[in-house]
Chain A
Amino acid sequence: QVQLVQSGSELKKPGASVKVSCKASGYTFTSYAMNWVRQAPGQGLEWMGWINTNTGNPTYAQGFTGRFVFSLDTSVSTAYLQISSLKAEDTAVYYCARDRQPGDSVDTAGYWGQGTLVTVSS
């Protein structure tokens, strides 16, 4: 069965960096796009962007350029989200979510990781 298991909660100081992992199992990792979604405390879902797991090419939504980097390690079927120069407003739960259908585009987040809480506080 498809599983996405994310790394554990992180507490970071402003200005630091964090790297969240999303380990996939139960399917061919490079056949499905991977989305990243942010949810700030008490707020709605924000689509951050996606990474083509076949080519490694990332696409970032507006507001998620510059400090946010999507990457892959296909040898261990894992996607990563790195955030640099952390700010208090980056405090949120970050989800990885696999596209429902195989392919080189993104549309429907069919399977989700459990989420990783990143807290930024001095």
Chain B
Amino acid sequence: DIQMTQSPSSLSASVGDRVTITCQASQDISNYLNWYQQKPGKAPKLLIYDASNLETGVPSRFSGSGSGTDFTFTISSLQPEDIATYYCQQYDNLPLFGQGTRLEIK
């Protein structure tokens, strides 16, 4: 079974900072990786699909990269409304979510 390791589990950053979250798969998953944002008390929202494609309507400060086993999610300039938990999700076989990264404002 494919395992997903997402890091860090939490991070604190200032408004305007560049924020990076990583996700590592235990085997090659090509570009079969998505990123979701979940705000407290809300359903998750798709931000990035197929590792690097921005979902329609998502601000361009969000981006994703990577292929194979190593993937990166980046917020280029952190905004207060970006406070949320972020999840990666692979779908090479059956879908599986990473453990999540809780993002807080410093």
Contact = CB atoms under 8 A, between A and B. Distances in A.
A67 B7 CA distance: 33
A46 interface: yes
A47 B94 contact: yes
A84 B53 CA distance: 39
Contacts of A44: 85, 87, 97-100
B65 interface: no
Interface residues of B, number: 23
Contacts of A114: 43
B47 to A, nearest CB: 11
B100 A112 contact: no
Contacts of B36: 45, 109
Nearest to B94: A61
A100 interface: yes
Given A45-B38, A107-B32, A112 B97 contact: no
Contacts of B49: 100, 108, 110
25 contacts: A44-B85, A44-B100, A45-B36, A45-B38, A45-B44, A45-B100, A46-B97, A47-B89, A47-B96, A47-B97, A59-B94, A97-B44, A100-B46, A106-B91, A106-B95, A107-B32, A107-B34, A108-B46, A108-B91, A109-B95, A112-B43, A112-B44, A112-B45, A114-B43, A115-B43
Nearest first, the 6 closest Cβ-Cβ pairs linking A and B are A112-B43, A107-B91, A44-B100, A45-B97, A47-B95, A108-B49
